[in-house]
Homo-oligomer: A and B are copies of this chain.
Amino acid sequence: MDFNDTPEEAAYRAQVRTWLEANAPKRATGDDLEGGGDSMAASKAWQARKAAAGYAQITWPKEWGGQGGNPIQQVIFNQEEAKHPIPPNPFQIGLGMCVPTVATFADDDTKARFVGPALRGEEIWCQLFSEPSGGSDVAASRTRAVRAPDGSGDWLISGQKVWTTGAQFSDFGIVICRTNPDAPKHKGLTMFWVDMHDPGIEVKPIHQMSGGSGFNEVFFTDVRVKDSQRLGAIDDGWKVSLVTLMNERLAVGGASGAGWAQFMEAARNLPGLDGAPALKDQALREKLADWYVQAEGLKHTRNRTMTALSRGQTPGPESSIGKIISAVQMQELAHAAVEMLDQYGIINDPALAPLHGAFQSSLMFAPGLRIAGGTDEILKNIIAERVLGLPGDIRVDKDVPFKDMPTGR
């Protein structure tokens, strides 16, 4: 048991370091991704450079522009890349989820058309699954795709998607649609790729309670797509979506935001109940200990996952617990920090609040993190069912024609 690279890994790390030293940006270029920010040009340039050197998707086969590498090599690259002031990465959903789906289900021409530009950052993709009425239940999608009445074999897509990350700057998307409302919900769906510049597509940013707008609503009005844009068989879209979602798990990041170390630093400098530094308060010290232990537990759980990858194994179930812990901790820690500030904690002006209002920002963002990418409750269900092998919830919607399913509408 150690934290060392294997000789092969060490060699790969050295190679990556050398390349990054020579090629990575020397200074940061803004970090506001929301709304396409000023960093987009830098992001695209960095992506193109990585692609040219084979570092854009290391685990992809060489014929797609990857290195045919293993997951630990990708991890090593990510670790080393993070030491440089790199611009944000708006390509991950496309490269991690959408393009592999297209590549699996589209014909060779389509694959050839899309893989390269996506890899080089020239085209950005988004994933259009969630719907207002669906929430955690992707198979409940109501967005309709019907054959065009002109007999061309084209499809017309109408409906609404929601919580679409990056839709505002995406060029293409994959969208799951209802094609047969008479079939049970999982059996009447079909997947298509769409051009996000189509005039029938309207993207509206969602105004979050935290103030930002990282997600979008996407409205489809008679968007015409060719039958060749279909991915997989008609009414077989649920299976296609599973391929996409399988890739999602590896892409979910942990929480950022103010952590135990920031809390400790703040506590050191604040007056506590008796005027002495708040860090002397045993109640806060116990909380600090708990948060530290959780954070370390997650860190070393990631180390166990990486070890499995390094040994060529599939990571164990332990890798599924990250967000469930970090989102709740973010909320609790921010809550405790704001209370530690006492009356002053209500102030969220970055010019006035300690740490530029990081605790207040966390407090307003945490409720979203507890929901995005699977609510606390859905994640516990997933652990219970997929990891522990407990039975699924009782399903009342398995064999009911979709159109007859109760929706409360």
A residues contacting B by CB (< 8 A) are 273, 281-286, 394, 396
Copies per assembly: 2
Contact of A283 among B282, B394, B396 (CB under 8 A): B282
Report the bound CA distance from A282 to B286 in whole Å.
10
Contacting residues, chain B, for A283 (C-beta < 8 A): 282-283, 285-286
Shortest Cβ distance from A289 into B: residue: B283
Sample of 10 A–B contacts (CB below 8 Å): A273-B282, A281-B282, A282-B282, A282-B283, A282-B284, A283-B283, A283-B285, A283-B286, A394-B394, A394-B396
Report the bound CA distance from A209 to B323 in whole Å.
37
| List of 6 A-B pairs having minimum Cβ-Cβ separation, nearest first | A282-B283, A282-B282, A283-B283, A283-B286, A394-B394, A281-B282
Report the bound CA distance from A273 to B285 in whole Å.
12
Nearest-neighbour CB distance to chain B for A335, whole angstroms, equals 14
Nearest-neighbour CB distance to chain B for A409, whole angstroms, equals 18
Nearest-neighbour CB distance to chain B for A213, whole angstroms, equals 34
Report the bound CA distance from A273 to B282 in whole Å.
10
Nearest-neighbour CB distance to chain B for A407, whole angstroms, equals 15
Overall SS of chain A's interface: helix
Report the bound CA distance from A283 to B285 in whole Å.
8
Nearest-neighbour CB distance to chain B for A342, whole angstroms, equals 15
Report the bound CA distance from A273 to B281 in whole Å.
12
Shortest Cβ distance from A286 into B: residue: B283
Report the bound CA distance from A285 to B272 in whole Å.
15
Q: Which of A282, A284, A286, A396 has its CB near the most chain B CB atoms (within 10 A)? A: A282
Contacting residues, chain B, for A284 (C-beta < 8 A): 282
Shortest Cβ distance from A280 into B: residue: B282
Contacting residues, chain B, for A273 (C-beta < 8 A): 282
Other A-B pairs, 8, CB within 8 Å; known A282-B282, A282-B283 = A273-B282, A281-B282, A282-B284, A283-B283, A283-B285, A283-B286, A394-B394, A394-B396
Q: Which of A273, A284, A286 has its CB near the most chain B CB atoms (within 10 A)? A: A286
Report the bound CA distance from A283 to B396 in whole Å.
47
Report the bound CA distance from A282 to B276 in whole Å.
13
Shortest Cβ distance from A284 into B: residue: B282
Report the bound CA distance from A286 to B336 in whole Å.
13
Nearest-neighbour CB distance to chain B for A149, whole angstroms, equals 42
Q: Which of A273, A283, A285 has its CB near the most chain B CB atoms (within 10 A)? A: A283
Shortest Cβ distance from A273 into B: residue: B282
Report the bound CA distance from A396 to B283 in whole Å.
47
Shortest Cβ distance from A287 into B: residue: B283
Report the bound CA distance from A282 to B285 in whole Å.
9
Report the bound CA distance from A396 to B395 in whole Å.
11
Contacting residues, chain B, for A286 (C-beta < 8 A): 283
Nearest-neighbour CB distance to chain B for A394, whole angstroms, equals 5
Report the bound CA distance from A273 to B286 in whole Å.
12
Contacting residues, chain B, for A396 (C-beta < 8 A): 394
Nearest-neighbour CB distance to chain B for A263, whole angstroms, equals 15
Report the bound CA distance from A220 to B177 in whole Å.
61
Contacting residues, chain B, for A281 (C-beta < 8 A): 282
Report the bound CA distance from A286 to B283 in whole Å.
7
Contacting residues, chain B, for A282 (C-beta < 8 A): 273, 281-284
Contacting residues, chain B, for A394 (C-beta < 8 A): 394, 396
Report the bound CA distance from A281 to B280 in whole Å.
10
Nearest-neighbour CB distance to chain B for A64, whole angstroms, equals 46
